[in-house]
Structure 1
Amino acid sequence: MLSYLQAAILGILQGISELFPISSLGHSILLPAVLGWTIDQNANYFLTFLVATHFATATVLFFFYWSDWVRIISGILRSIRLRRIALDTDAKLGWLLIVGTVPAGIVGILFQKQVQELFTSPSYVASFLALNGVLLYAAEFLRTKTKSGLTALDPDERIATEVSWRQSTGVGVMQVLALLPGFSRTGSTIAGGLMVGLAHEDALRFSFLLATPIIGAAAALKLPVLLASRDAPAIELALVGASCAAVASYVSVKLLTRYFKSRTLTPFAVYCSLAGFISLLLFHLR
């Protein structure tokens, strides 16, 4: 079982690494392994702890983009009522998010048990983290230049105008990679956004909007099980971790929305590759 200090540390780590493109699951598994914490990372209490911290992050994202979500949800409902999407930016963006969520949602449900088995192998996780660095660097190298004529538009208008249905599906497929602990959901979707022509700032925005429903839905399915168990210690640890994750997530969103106005994924690519290789070396030397 986690201590309260360990729960707080992992909560802060999750809040940062979920939104920074460096993999929250990867860090939540690697840090205890590197530090020698005796944690059963396949135990129900640990999995529900991770779900609670993810739910906290999704909640922060939802309220950070509250006004956007009000417009997006209204646009989806309006498109259903009027049976048309054309010329409605909010509706188009909403359906793009739905299309982009489907691939990871389906794969996550079908292969949940197989993915969970990877949690017990820090070496696999370290390898995936190193590969996440390669993915981020490749995205910068291969990214499509943004269309200069769209820069005057509102960010949501730029996304709705520039991203096609096929491209949104492609970004959603990239998000499937994040089911592997070590690959970052934020990193993979930003990478997908860059490769379809979004600017860094818009790719981050699309990534955060895309992350909110899938993280929130996954957590909403698991949290009732935790509450129904009436396992007081596990619930207390989840609350500690979730509270710390919420604060860290809010700070992370503020920092990243400023950072990606003018900067790139390259520093994160270097960090992930080094962290993954160093972790592999430490595990090999033990």
Structure 2
Amino acid sequence: MDLMKIIQTLVLALLQGVTELFPISSLGHTVILPDLIGWGDLTGGTACGGKSCFLPVVVALHLGTSIALIIYFWRDWLQVIRTLLTTARTRKVSKGTNEWVSWMIIIGTLPAGILGVLLKSKLEALFSSPLLVSAFLIMNGSLLFIGEALRRRAEANLLTFSAKERESKFRSLSSLSIKEALLIGLAQSVALIPGFSRSGSTIVAGLAVRLTHEDAARYSFLLGTPIILAAAVLEVPALFHQTAFPFWLIILGMVVSGIAAYVSTAFLTKYFEKGRLDPFAYYCWIAGIISIVLFLTVRA
């Protein structure tokens, strides 16, 4: 067994598991890093019989991430299933209930799911341009920074209110409207472009409709799960047409990716109770600028 293949799989697994939930773009990192460190056989070489084995392997790692998210939020997904069964029977659902939240999760996944199918071939072409993805990573940092700045300004305007009044200005997931769920779901669609973060775009959109950091992050993770899972399932057949990576190694990568995703979710769920998006914005700017410089000089 080629030791390099094991290293590549484990590095990509850890990268995918961590960056999928952190608002710093997992796809952006998995496009940029292999090219920067000379793993050209993954992104466009001959390791897979003349075809790139990058997408099938990365998609398999996404499957591990989605399974970890389902396990972490199993109560929420159990509630979604119950809601579907209950609604099919009663044909009604009341706003402000757990059933309403379940429907907001379902509705919020629609924009990214539809656009992902319609634009699949055009979006995949971006995977061959790490320099462009680096620029998108910088733009992602700007999105996070602007979103957090607007949030802080809104909070500053509430300083004259009492603690109870300030709390009333923020909303829970159960108060979302169908229009707002669709808008947040549309924001998630931006992350179909490598370099833009799925969690980052949806958290910023959630903050824009006055969700708390905690609820915006939770909704973001819940919205991302079906999209990640669906994309992974659709690409699984491609795994059987590549020979560079043994199936057992891909399974190992999925497990590592899943564990990393589970730990990241637990950390971020706690972090966003009070944490800000600014540190992630700074990271995206620095990583994107350094990547562009390296691509234009060292890798030129």
> Normalized against structure 2, the TM-score is what?
0.87
Q: Match for residue 196 of structure 1?
A: 209
Contact 1:150/1:158 (<8 A) preserved: no
Alignment equivalent of 1:263, drawn from 269, 275, 288:
275
Alignment equivalent of 2:87, drawn from 76, 79, 82:
79
Q: Match for residue 11 of structure 1?
A: 13
SS in 2 for 1:21: coil
| Distance (Å, rounded) in 2 between the aligned partners of 1:221 and 1:175 | 19
| Per-residue deviation, 1:236 | 3.5
Letter in 2 for 1:175: Q
Further displaced range: 100-109 or 87-96: 87-96
| Distance (Å, rounded) in 2 between the aligned partners of 1:232 and 1:280 | 29
Tell me, which stretches of 5 or more residues in structure 2 are unaligned? Answer: 45-50, 159-165
Q: Match for residue 154 of structure 1?
A: none
| Per-residue deviation, 1:44 | 5.0
| Per-residue deviation, 1:225 | 4.0
| Distance (Å, rounded) in 1 between the aligned partners of 2:243 and 2:150 | 49
Contact 1:49/1:237 (<8 A) preserved: no
| Distance (Å, rounded) in 2 between the aligned partners of 1:105 and 1:235 | 28
SS in 1 for 2:196: coil
Contact 2:59/2:236 (<8 A) preserved: yes
SS in 1 for 2:250: helix
Percent identity over the alignment is 42
Letter in 2 for 1:233: F
| Per-residue deviation, 1:182 | 0.6
Alignment equivalent of 1:184, drawn from 191, 197, 201:
197
Contact 1:22/1:184 (<8 A) preserved: yes
Alignment equivalent of 1:148, drawn from 162, 167, 170:
167
| Per-residue deviation, 1:226 | 2.3
How does 1:90-105 map onto structure 2 within 5 Å?
90-105=98-113
| Distance (Å, rounded) in 2 between the aligned partners of 1:169 and 1:263 | 25
Deviation string 1:2-25 (CA, Å, 9 cap, x unpaired) is 611111011001100001101111
Q: Match for residue 28 of structure 2?
A: 26
Note the aligned Cα RMSD (angstroms). 2.1
| Per-residue deviation, 1:230 | 7.6
Q: Match for residue 159 of structure 1?
A: 173
| Per-residue deviation, 1:167 | 0.9
Does the C-alpha gap of structure 1 residues 222 and 111 become closer, same or farther in structure 2, counting only changes over 3 Å? Answer: same
Contact 2:172/2:212 (<8 A) preserved: no
Q: Does 1:63 align with 2:77?
A: no
Contact 1:45/1:234 (<8 A) preserved: no
| Distance (Å, rounded) in 1 between the aligned partners of 2:33 and 2:243 | 25
Does the C-alpha gap of structure 1 residues 91 and 129 become closer, same or farther in structure 2, counting only changes over 3 Å? Answer: same
Letter in 2 for 1:238: I
SS in 1 for 2:10: helix
SS in 1 for 2:68: helix
How does 1:215-230 map onto structure 2 within 5 Å?
215-227=228-240, 229=241
| Per-residue deviation, 1:142 | 2.2
Q: Match for residue 47 of structure 2?
A: none
Q: Does 1:281 align with 2:293?
A: yes
Q: Match for residue 169 of structure 1?
A: 182
